[in-house]
């Protein structure tokens, strides 16, 4: 645009000089500025100079106006902006179309969070119950141990009831009708020394 504006200005200068040459018979001076073709340009007729400079001024001015009113850079930027707007509109439409899916995903995540919270509460309750059950388990184990000890004592008592006599030598229970201990072979009817002494005393 700046290039064609400068060319338009130069053409208008030549046009004004051509008018002054025709009206006031002034010499042509601007054509001397062109270094290689100035001699040939000096031989040009004033009327031709007028028409050529007028045509050049009109052409360059038209091109300048066309560029000014239809700037390609501005047009390119507007095209890019319009494309960006279209892309943004398409993306917005796509997001709106997928909004239901996103809402469903959000609801699924919310329900999953609720489920996880419920499971966490259940785990906490189970741990609490397990902690409460552990002392009971220890008590049950103690009771089992005491019961086994009681069974052993009851078995001993049953053996003492069943076998009231005890071998004075080895201390094992024997039946009353046994005169000899089946374990050590000693006599089982031997009375204790205290009893013997009492008999001797009598």
Residue spans of the domains in the chain: they are: 2-92, 163-201
| pLDDT tens, residue by residue, 174-190 | 777 778 888 888 887 65
pLDDT of residue 73: 60
Residue 75 has pLDDT above 70, yes or no: no
Which of 54-58, 104-108, 161-165, 170-174 has the highest mean predicted lDDT (pLDDT)? 54-58
What is the distance between the alpha carbons of residues 153 and 42, in angstroms, rounded to a whole number? 149
For residues 124-128, give the mean pLDDT: 81
pLDDT of residue 136: 73
What does pLDDT average to over the chain? 77
Residue keyed to tokens 């028409």:
51
Contacts of 13 (CB under 8 A, 6+ apart): 30
List the one residue out of 54, 68, 64, 53 whose CA is nearest residue 6. Answer: 64
pLDDT of residue 137: 77
């Amino acid at each position: 645009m700046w290039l064609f504006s400068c060319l338009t200005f130069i053409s208008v200068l030549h046009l004004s000089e051509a008018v002054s040459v025709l009206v006031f018979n002034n010499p042509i001076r601007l054509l001397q500025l062109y270094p290689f073709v100035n001699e040939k340009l000096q031989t040009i007729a004033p009327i031709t100079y007028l028409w050529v400079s007028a045509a050049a001024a009109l052409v360059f001015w038209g091109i300048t106006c066309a560029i000014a009113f239809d700037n390609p850079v501005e047009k390119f930027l507007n095209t890019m902006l319009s494309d960006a707007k279209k892309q943004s509109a398409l993306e917005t439409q796509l997001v709106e179309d997928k909004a239901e899916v996103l809402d469903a995903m959000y609801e699924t995540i919310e329900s999953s969070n609720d489920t996880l919270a419920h499971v966490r509460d259940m785990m906490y309750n189970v741990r609490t119950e397990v902690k409460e059950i552990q002392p009971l388990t220890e008590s049950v184990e103690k009771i089992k141990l005491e019961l086994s000890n009681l069974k052993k004592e009851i078995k001993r008592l049953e053996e003492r009831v069943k076998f009231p006599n005890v071998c004075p030598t080895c201390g094992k229970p024997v039946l009353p009708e046994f005169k000899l201990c089946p374990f050590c072979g000693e006599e089982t009817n031997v009375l204790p020394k205290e009893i013997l002494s009492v008999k001797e005393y009598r």
